[in-house]
Structure 1
Amino acid sequence: MKVIVIGATGTLGRAVVRALEPRHEVVGASRGGPVAVDLERPATLDALFATVPGADAVVCCAASGPLVPLETVSDEEFAAGLGGKLLGQAALVRRAARHLNDGGSITLTGGTFSEPLAGGSLGALVNGGLEGFVRNAAAELPRGLRLNLVSPGWISETLESLGADPVGGTPAADVARAYAELVEGGARGVNLVPGHAR
């Protein structure tokens, strides 16, 4: 398959590229790469599918959201926090539905945490919204297209870069296998949480 990986230069994106490259033609896209895309600028999504025609799958690993204090965050900051990860990924799905080959696959990135996280209410809203969106939109997509979501918690390498104990996270390579499973399988409307029993 020809697979577009958005966020291909990040920790998780690089791991997803490595997981898919042995079996597929992978086209990496990122904000600063030769194939440029920014989830907060929908026009770059249109340009992406014009630049990479005939794709069979798209994986989005670029989505991230800030931790913001619920009591003091402004309405504008809160609305901006919905931009890339929630609305940007929804915009990606709408465009991919028009451009991917029949039977193609779209895999988005959400998130999950085992307990409430200080500053995490915006992230919880985004992740809950993504889960509901994927479940419903998967049933609406035409031409046998499949839509799924991967919801990792902390990535071990990210924790290590923050000076925290990486044991509390899941290695990027393990999370990447979840993306590969959804791209190559037949699931539709699934929210896959790496490291949790299914």
Structure 2
Amino acid sequence: MRILIIGGEGTIGKVVSDHFSEEHEVITAGRKHGDVTVDIADSASIDTMLEKVGRVDAIICIAGEAKWAPFNALSEEDFYIGLRSKLMGQVNLVRKGRNYLNPNGSITLSTGILADDPVVKTSSAAMVNGALHSFVKAVALEIESGIRLNVVSLGMVEDAYEKYKDYFPGHNPVPMEKVVNAYVRSVKGRDHGRIIKYYE
């Protein structure tokens, strides 16, 4: 398979990319690092990336940002960071990326535990994650050409434990093997319209 991984050089993306690279052609994309560059908050940038990459069998997005801050400190513009990047960035990857998929290809988006189990300072990120879950379930009813659409929703992963442990007291880190398997399941399995949750 030919697989495009947006965010393929990040904490999770690098591990996922390395795994798929063992058997498949992987093209990584990111704002600063990767085989091609893209800013998913910019619709035109997505178009440029897809034109450069061409047709693929699978698209995986492990990218997108949202502002983490106390609710009382968040401005309207702070909320738009997550809406433009993590939410609409991934929505636009589906809208545009489906036209570059080979028949029966797949698209995998990424969210996280905050949709179901938010912690403090995550009202924006939790909102965006929940919206993406609803989006995937709805679009799965309509998307054509045999395309499968899923979203991987992870808890705090092992490789990010030291950075984020203070935000998630008492949470069990998700082993990186489980992280990889969530994306393998979405790309190589038959799930469609599924929220693939690995929270511990």
Aligned ranges 1:43-122 → 2 under 5 Å? 43-113=44-114, 115-122=117-124
Give the CA deviation at 1:5. Answer: 0.5
Number of residue equivalences? 196
Deviations 1:31-82 (A, max 9, x none): 1134001111111211111111120100001123221221221111112221
Give the CA deviation at 1:23. Answer: 2.0
Structure 2 regions of 5+ residues with no counterpart? none
- What TM-score comes out, normalization by structure 2 length? 0.90
Match of 1:173 among 177, 180, 185: 177
Distance 1:162 1:134 in 2: 27
8 Å contact from structure 2 (residues 113, 199) kept in 1: no
Partner of 1:2: 2
8 Å contact from structure 1 (residues 160, 166) kept in 2: no
Instruction: Give the match's secondary structure for 1:151.
Output: strand
Match of 1:156 among 155, 158, 166: 158
Instruction: Give the match's secondary structure for 1:150.
Output: strand
Letter matched to residue 30 of structure 1: G
Instruction: Give the match's secondary structure for 1:139.
Output: coil
In structure 2, the CA distance between the partners of 1:115 and 1:144, relative to structure 1 (3 Å rule), is closer
In structure 2, the CA distance between the partners of 1:132 and 1:99, relative to structure 1 (3 Å rule), is same
Higher RCO structure, 1 or 2 (CA under 8 Å, sep 6+): 1
Match of 1:133 among 135, 154, 160: 135
Structure 1 regions of 5+ residues with no counterpart? none
- Structure 1 residue runs of 4+, over 6 Å off? none
Over the aligned positions, Cα root-mean-square deviation in angstroms equals 1.9
Partner of 1:17: 17
Using the TM superposition, name which of 26-35 and 128-137 deviates more: 26-35
Distance 1:176 1:166 in 2: 23
Aligned ranges 1:19-34 → 2 under 5 Å? 19-33=19-33, 34=35
Distance 2:103 2:18 in 1: 25
Give the CA deviation at 1:98. Answer: 1.4
Q: Which has the higher strand share?
A: 2
In structure 2, the CA distance between the partners of 1:167 and 1:70, relative to structure 1 (3 Å rule), is closer
8 Å contact from structure 2 (residues 66, 79) kept in 1: no
Match of 1:187 among 188, 191, 195: 191
8 Å contact from structure 2 (residues 65, 81) kept in 1: no
Distance 2:53 2:27 in 1: 8
